[in-house]
Each structure stands twice: as structure tokens, then as C-alpha cells.
Amino acid sequence: MKIKFLVLVIVAMLVSITANAVSEKELSAIKERIKPVGSVCLEGDSTCGTAVAVSSGPRSGEDVYNAACMACHTTGAGGAPKIGEAPAWTDRIAKGNDVLYSSGINGIAGTGMIAKGGCMNCSDDEIKAAVDFIVESSQ
């Protein structure tokens, strides 16, 4: 009886081991299915092994306008003066470019104009270019 029990235990262990065995090919396929789909690399990080995309240069004023300013300055949302409507811009333009640039970069307290129009990845020069674009389009 003890021998039959011992044989039964050994057979059960072999079946269990065989059932859980994964071939190298299957293991490779599993690793492929669960591998990360990407990685995050910071500019200057040489451990990533791949090239990191870098900006090709400053965006044009029109590009910045279309990406950040258009939502309010095309619709007049929050009381924003609409692009192309000269009367809405006359007094603002008369204050000079430095005031307009400051408003674009820093926003205007108490109004809907937020700093950089919400384009936090825009440089100050790109915001200035967007202001120039709006002014040129509104005179």
C-alpha cells in the first residue's frame, strides 16, 4: 500500500511538472506579448539607446495662434477681442508692443487671459510672434 501511494505521489508530481513546463519558444512568445510598448527618454539621456526628437526651432506666430490662442480670440470666449476686428484692438495696440507682449506672456489678472494663453511649452519669443500675428491680422 505504501509503495502504491509513493508511486501515485511521484506520478502526480511528474504530471504537475510536465503540465507547468514551458518551452523556450513559448517563454519567448510570452515575453514578447508582455514587454513594454515604449519608454520615456529625456533629452541628453544616453541610456535610452534611441534618438530623442528635438524641436526643429521656434514655431511661427500663426502656428502658436492656431494651437493656443485661436480658441478664445476667434470666438470671443471670456470677452477676448476677436482677431481681425480692428475696433476691438485699436486701444490695445495703442499701448504698444511691450504691453501686448506682457499680457500674452503673463496673462491679465481678473480676465480670462491666462499666461501664455495656456501654451506652457511656448517660449516667450513664440508668444511674442503670436501677438505680432494677431496685431498684423487685426489692423
Q: Which amino acid is at 45?
A: D
Contacts of 123 (CB under 8 A, 6+ apart): 58
Query: Is residue 32 domain-resident?
Result: no
Query: Is residue 122 domain-resident?
Result: yes
Query: Is residue 37 domain-resident?
Result: no
68 to each of 57, 59, 73, 103, 113, how far by Cα in Å? Answer: 17, 12, 10, 14, 11
Domain count, the chain: 1
pLDDT tens, residue order, the chain (139 aa): 778 777 777 877 776 666 566 678 887 888 888 888 877 777 777 777 655 455 567 899 999 999 999 999 999 998 999 999 999 999 999 999 999 999 999 999 988 899 999 999 999 999 999 999 999 999 8
Query: Is residue 41 domain-resident?
Result: no
Query: Is residue 111 domain-resident?
Result: yes
What is the model's pLDDT at position 107?
94
Residue 132, all three cell numbers? 505680432
Look up the pTM and report it: 0.61
- Number of residues that make up the chain: 139
Query: Is residue 91 domain-resident?
Result: yes
Query: Is residue 53 domain-resident?
Result: no
The CATH number given to whatever domain includes residue 70 is 1.10.760.10
**Gap between the Cα atoms of 85 and 93, Å rounded:** 12
Domain interval for residue 68:
61-137
What is the model's pLDDT at position 53?
54
Determine contact, residues 89/139, Cβ cutoff 8 Å.
yes
Q: Which amino acid is at 130?
A: A
Q: Which amino acid is at 16?
A: S
Determine contact, residues 68/113, Cβ cutoff 8 Å.
no
110 to each of 73, 93, 114, how far by Cα in Å? Answer: 17, 20, 10
Residue 45, all three cell numbers? 539621456
What is the model's pLDDT at position 21?
66
Query: Is residue 6 domain-resident?
Result: no
